[in-house]
A and B are shown apart, each in its own frame.
Chain A
Amino acid sequence: MKYLQRTSFLLLISVLIPFALRAQVTNERLLHATDEPQNWLTYSGSYMSQRHSSLKQLDPANVKNLELKWVFQAQSLQKFETTPLVVDGVMYLTQSPNDVVAVDAKSGRVFWLYHYATSPASRPCCGIVNRGLAILGDTLFMATVDAHLIAIDSKDGHAIWNVKLAEAAAGYAMTMAPLVVKDKVIVGVAGGEFGVRGFISAFEAQTGKQAWKFDTIPDPDQPGHDTWRGGDWEHGGGAVWMTGSYDPDLNLTYWGTGNPGPDWNAEQRPGDNLFSDSVLALDPDTGKMKWYFQFTPHDPYDYDSVQVPVLVNSNWNGAPRKLLMWANRNGFFYVLDRATGKFLNGKPFVKVNWASGLDANGRPLATPQPAGATTYPGIQGGTNWYAPSYSPRTGLFYISAWENYGTIFAGVKADYVEGTRFTGGANASPIPGAENPTGTRTGPINTYTEAMGSGAVVAMDPATGDKKWKYEMHDVNTSGILTTDSDLLFVGGREGYFQALDARNGTLLWKQNLGGEIISGPMTYQVDGKQYVTICSGNSMFTFALRE
């Protein structure tokens, strides 16, 4: 019997090894992610980051027949901000603080769970959250709140390598989904409220060896340093906490940077404070910067420019052009030439009074408000990190917006102490005695008045910078947006409603109360011929498809 068992064992191995060749997620697949809309291979669905799917099974006529197919309940009470990946019927998601879970995309049943014990020294500013993963081959990549980057086997959830990028105790953290380009994994660090010096760094996907590092706040030997006074740059912020985009033809990645430090006391750091509140075009092979564009020079409002860069190939003034579209936290919607960084157009998409407009180069015409007066938009901005969407069908750009939302800003001197908040502000709501609406809701009761702000989905015409339509919400809107080739638009919101709108005109087609704040981006995929749409609400992830 033992002989038989041993023989069968060896036979089995000889049979199985040839089948070890698997359908891996190659660079080629990532480059053409939109050609396989049944999958969702990157944080925003493709390197263009349009969060748009060509799936059409769900459409305006049948979307009312959506029904819940499964729920995944996170083992966490933290905000659930992840956008999952789906690869050939398997969904990979993250739950706070830094767990990775592989589930069957049809049923939600779990294959495996990887748990990473984060350092107790980690101190992310705004919640112990994670927004998702990247994949290359059979390896998943996750950035952690204690500033590590971890490679994980997608088949069994084992860690392959783990590298530390920076000191968590000093305020460095990572919450973004990484970006894989060629053989590298690229990430940035959060920590803008702790006076960190931001950076973007690339690592070899196979080994975790660092390939390059780009500091977003230049030292005395780097261009842009002359926009800082003395040693202010050492704690200058410029954190990078959202996933970038990639243009393979130009071989450029695009990254948004956050506020300068301290956040609100701009007098403490005279100068434009490059490269805070900017978009950076970096070579993915070397980390060299080709161009930059600063949205908010010398920012006293915490107008992080970390929004997902949306790449669009379209006509501009009658000629084909590679465009970069950007709805900024500062309330302006921008169109840039992404080959050169040249400013093409920019208009406000919400109420703005900190600037009267933008000059020919896109630099704001600053109109600081008098002490005690309300500045629009407020601290959280006209939008924030919530993933926008662009539909090639409608040609419209869709933004989750905070409308009529203001703050009375008041900067105060801040002293830098490593690992403690370095924000320098005593800001207030324009409504006496009321709280200033913050980045997340702490309960189900909403007694905001209109003067405190409200939410909306705003559809912008990039060609003109004009609003085409607006879908208004009572509460502010913290959700990402998904559009499809059937002209559906999916969006959540702080109120917990998951909604389907007509992307052409903003008409509400379907809604479902999921009971918890929606603070992630919807995504869609298809398995065995059925299209699903997924969103996180509260502490759970919900997946819908058409009724059988």
Chain B
Amino acid sequence: MKIRWVAIRALGLVAAVCVLFFSHAPAAHAQGQDRAPEYYRADIQYGAQIFASQCTACHGVSGDVIPGVNFRAGVFKRVVSDNDLRATITTGVPGTEMRPFAFGASELTGIVSYLRNMNSADAKGAFIGNVARGKEIFNGAGNCAACHAVNGKGPRVAPDLGDVGALRTADLLRRKLVDPSDNLLPINRSVRAVTKDGKTINGRRLNEDTYTVQLVDEHERLVSLAKSDLREFAILQTTPMPSYKDKFSAQELADIEAYLLSLKGVK
């Protein structure tokens, strides 16, 4: 029997495994010079927090203490592109007080976004998240821990979020929280397979090639399937993860975001 390759939109029902979402993807905005940079409000806010704790001692609150440098006015000594800015932050400037900073990708995105927007960033109305409150929501009212593990503790129905704060930008995390299906990455899609002998397998896709697909199934087993053994194979387009847009306030969303950003993985 020929396999029915089905793309199921808006399904994610009983048969679907609770797949998801916070997983490996490039930052949502440009980092190179091949297109105009885009900066997101959540990243700018995250960067503002980092700047306040890590940079103001030397650069000042307005970023204009070092002679020849004025972040708010966009004046730099060596930096032209965002990549230059990232490189300067991560490698430091030899012979000066500017030491290397071991920031992760999300932190770098945040701080670059903030530095590029200091002249227009409006601190008013910004919701600074609280990590402890966010953790409480994650494990409580948000029911996030029902599907997501953190550093190996919890179910594997959805991806482990133990290092999500190192991999994802603040903006991407916020968008996931309010509209998870619209921001569902291909690598995190659920799959539903039916073998030629009628066995149904639901799982979260880990890898796929022309002839096989690898997944973690609903029993948390690693399974490799030969497509030639299947009569049906569907990659689901939506996620059963609910949107938290109307469930939580802006402050509570910021709290969850702050908690997720604090998850930097095991060092």
Contact = CB atoms under 8 A, between A and B. Distances in A.
A159 B162 CA distance: 8
B212 A12 contact: no
Contacts of B267: 162
B134 interface: no
Nearest to B215: A111
Max count, chain A CB within 10 A of own CB: residue among B10, B160, B209, B216 = B160
A1 interface: yes
Given A12-B18, A16-B18, A111-B224, A159 B151 contact: yes
B13 interface: yes
B219 A19 contact: yes
Given A8-B13, A111-B206, A111-B207, A155 B266 contact: no
Interface in A1-56: 1-2, 4-6, 8-9, 11-13, 15-17, 19-20, 22
A90 B13 CA distance: 29
B148 to A, nearest CB: 11
A150 interface: yes
Contacts of B162: 158-159
Contacts of A160: 151-153, 266
Contacts of B155: 16-17, 20
A243 interface: no
Interface residues of A, number: 38
A488 to B, nearest CB: 27
Contacts of A20: 155-156, 219-220
B25 to A, nearest CB: 16
A13 B146 contact: yes
B10 A107 contact: no
A158 B17 contact: no
A162 B218 CA distance: 28
A161 interface: yes
B14 interface: yes
Nearest to B214: A111
B17 A107 contact: no
Nearest to A104: B224
A109 B207 contact: yes
Interface string B65-90: 00000000000000000000000000
Contacts of A153: 149, 152, 156, 160
A452 B266 CA distance: 48
A12 B16 contact: yes
B214 to A, nearest CB: 5
Interface in B225-267: 226, 238, 240-243, 265-267
Contacts of B265: 158-159
Contact of B149 (A102, A110, A158): A158
A155 B240 contact: no
Contact of A110 (B156, B214, B240, B242): B214
Contact of B209 (A17, A109, A112): A109
Contacts of B151: 158-161
Interface in A119-138: none
Contacts of B214: 104, 109-111
B165 interface: no
Contact of B10 (A1, A9, A111, A151): A1
B14 A11 contact: yes
A29 B153 CA distance: 23
A156 B160 contact: yes
A273 interface: no
B163 A158 contact: yes
A529 to B, nearest CB: 16
A534 interface: no
A96 B159 CA distance: 26
Contacts of B152: 139, 151, 153, 158-160
Contact of B216 (A8, A15, A155): A155
Contacts of A19: 218-220
B266 A162 contact: yes
Nearest to A152: B152
B30 interface: no
Given A16-B17, A158-B149, A9 B266 contact: no
Nearest to A13: B146
A109 B212 contact: yes
Given A22-B219, A158-B163, 16 more contacts: A8-B12, A8-B240, A9-B240, A9-B241, A19-B220, A89-B222, A104-B212, A107-B226, A109-B214, A110-B207, A112-B207, A151-B152, A155-B156, A156-B159, A158-B265, A160-B151
28 contacts: A4-B13, A5-B10, A8-B240, A15-B14, A16-B18, A16-B155, A17-B146, A17-B155, A19-B220, A22-B219, A22-B220, A22-B221, A104-B222, A109-B209, A109-B214, A111-B222, A139-B152, A150-B266, A153-B149, A153-B156, A155-B156, A155-B222, A156-B156, A158-B160, A159-B152, A159-B162, A159-B265, A160-B266
Interface of B: 10, 12-14, 16-18, 146-147, 149, 151-153, 155-157, 159-160, 162-163, 206-207, 209, 212, 214, 216, 218-222, 224, 226, 238, 240-243, 265-267
